[in-house]
């Protein structure tokens, strides 16, 4: 299989024909429309029938992943999540970080909302929410970055509110999902305040949360900030009508699809100047993992609004990014960086010596979502390849997967992140999303889910 190394306009727009042919024994008719006009999906995915694959995900979530957090990662006494853990679940470092509180609140609220309204999950969400609000909220939409497990501030240089808006936005996302679960009006108001404050801070020309590496003192824009706003607001607006925030959502979808997108090379630049113009020194670089994660979030918004054209443009770009960044020798996606041009320090193409668990999960979300709504063969192909690589290299006996591996599948430590960090979000988010997709496909009699509208 050839590795695409250049971007043609037709390929970047999705109009240039297939980039990845079907595997032997599979033809386009596998996903072609049946007599009802709705694509019929294959009877097996990843070597399993649809019910078997659904049951596999159910087992991985409820029998392997969630029980790990009951061993110490979830603080059953005070609420909240500790994520520096040994493989047996005992605590290695006593700290609670706002990202992982907001993420944990989202996960357990989503479990309650999506899988039978189990009161155990709502109770974990409630106690996590109480810990966050009582011990980490600083008022005016700002949140303490990190505390000890009992809520005391950590004596660290990064204590207090970080310059970037990720912490407040993860807190907001968790509070939105908790509001959906509980109807708690105060949680909704806290979420709204956190989002509005984050937007105000981010739009300030002196915003310090995105610093451009080669431009001292200049503020920037991050694709990751836009995707946090899109992901959170797509979940908020069906619950709470807010025209101003609907405008923010529309604005950031536009930034993702038109400003961060670089048509010259068919890539998405991760960082722009604060006015959303291109940074010349970074124009030939992109981050495949973040870019794919961003696009499936926009696909969720396309589903919410019934915008098929937007959905299709996202899927074309996702396919392109996976095919550009894939390691065709050892499998897995080089997800942390891609360079269109070689330099004295980096070769052209993907950075392949580190492959992160979270980014591989983003492929699995995007490919399953595409498969569910289109039945297209390429999505099945990449879903199966990404799943096989992830299960082969990332799984562990404790149920929470490894953070990253090198090309040969050996452990690789991520820069600035403890080897004891356990992920309480990306792995289970992908698995829950995939499980719900499979439930819908099975409910459709093995056919693709009709596109809304």
Q: Which long-range contacts (CB under 8 A, 24 or more apart) does 182-187 make?
A: 182/109, 182/122, 182/125, 182/126, 184/129, 187/129
* pLDDT at residue 10 greater than cutoff 90: no
Structural domain spans, the chain: 74-83+93-203
Candidates 286, 287, 318; CA nearest to 300 is 318
Query: Residue 163 has what pLDDT?
Result: 87
194-208 per-position pLDDT tens digit: 999 999 999 999 999
Mean pLDDT of the chain: 90
Query: Residue 416 has what pLDDT?
Result: 86
How far is 104 from 128, CA to CA, in rounded Å?
Answer: 8
Instruction: Give the pTM.
Output: 0.91
8 A C-beta contact, residue 301 and residue 309: no
* pLDDT at residue 409 greater than cutoff 90: yes
Query: Residue 269 has what pLDDT?
Result: 98
Overall average pLDDT of the 22-44 stretch: 54
53-109 per-position pLDDT tens digit: 999 999 999 999 999 999 999 999 999 999 999 999 999 998 999 999 999 999 999
326-377 per-position pLDDT tens digit: 999 999 999 889 999 999 989 999 999 999 999 999 999 999 999 999 999 9
The 8-class DSSP code of residue 442 comes to H
């Amino acid at each position: 299989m050839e590795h695409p190394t250049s971007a043609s306009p037709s390929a970047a727009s999705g109009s240039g024909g297939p980039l990845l042919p079907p595997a032997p024994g599979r033809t386009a008719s596998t996903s072609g429309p049946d007599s009802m006009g709705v694509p019929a999906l294959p009877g097996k995915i990843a070597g399993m029938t649809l019910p078997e694959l659904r049951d596999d995900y159910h087992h991985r979530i409820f029998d392997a992943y969630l029980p790990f957090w009951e061993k110490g990662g979830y603080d059953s006494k005070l609420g909240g999540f500790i994520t520096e853990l040994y493989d047996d679940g005992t605590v290695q470092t006593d700290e609670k970080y706002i990202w992982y509180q907001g993420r944990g609140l989202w996960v357990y609220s989503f479990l309650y909302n999506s899988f039978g309204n189990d009161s155990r999950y709502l109770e974990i969400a409630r106690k996590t929410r109480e810990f966050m609000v009582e011990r980490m909220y600083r008022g005016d939409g700002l949140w303490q970055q990190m505390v000890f497990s009992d809520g005391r501030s950590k004596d660290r240089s990064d204590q207090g509110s970080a310059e970037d808006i990720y912490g407040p936005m993860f807190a907001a996302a968790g509070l939105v999902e908790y509001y959906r679960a509980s109807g708690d009006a105060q949680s909704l108001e806290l979420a709204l305040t956190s989002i509005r404050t984050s937007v105000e801070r981010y739009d300030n020309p002196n915003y310090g949360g995105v610093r451009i590496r080669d431009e001292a003192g200049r503020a920037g824009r991050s694709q990751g900030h836009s995707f946090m706003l899109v992901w959170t607001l797509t979940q908020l607006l069906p619950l709470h009508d807010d025209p101003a925030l609907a405008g923010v959502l529309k604005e950031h979808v536009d930034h993702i699809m038109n400003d961060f997108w670089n048509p010259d090379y068919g890539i998405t630049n991760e960082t722009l100047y604060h006015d959303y113009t291109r940074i010349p020194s970074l124009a030939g670089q992109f981050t495949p993992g973040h870019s794919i994660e961003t696009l499936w979030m926009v696909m969720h918004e396309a589903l919410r609004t019934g915008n098929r054209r937007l959905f299709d443009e996202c899927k074309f770009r996702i396919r392109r990014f996976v095919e550009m960044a894939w390691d065709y020798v050892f499998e897995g996606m080089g997800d942390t960086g891609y360079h269109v041009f070689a330099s004295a320090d980096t070769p052209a193409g993907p950075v392949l010596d580190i492959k992160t668990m979270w980014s591989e999960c983003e492929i699995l979300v995007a490919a399953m979502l595409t498969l569910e709504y289109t039945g297209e063969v390429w999505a099945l192909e990449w879903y199966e390849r990404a799943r096989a690589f992830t299960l082969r290299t990332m799984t562990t006996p404790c149920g929470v997967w490894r953070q990253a591996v090198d090309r040969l599948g050996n452990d690789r430590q991520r820069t600035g992140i403890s080897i004891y960090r356990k992920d309480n979000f990306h792995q289970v988010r992908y698995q829950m999303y995939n499980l719900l997709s499979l439930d819908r496909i099975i409910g459709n009699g093995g056919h693709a889910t009709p596109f809304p509208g």
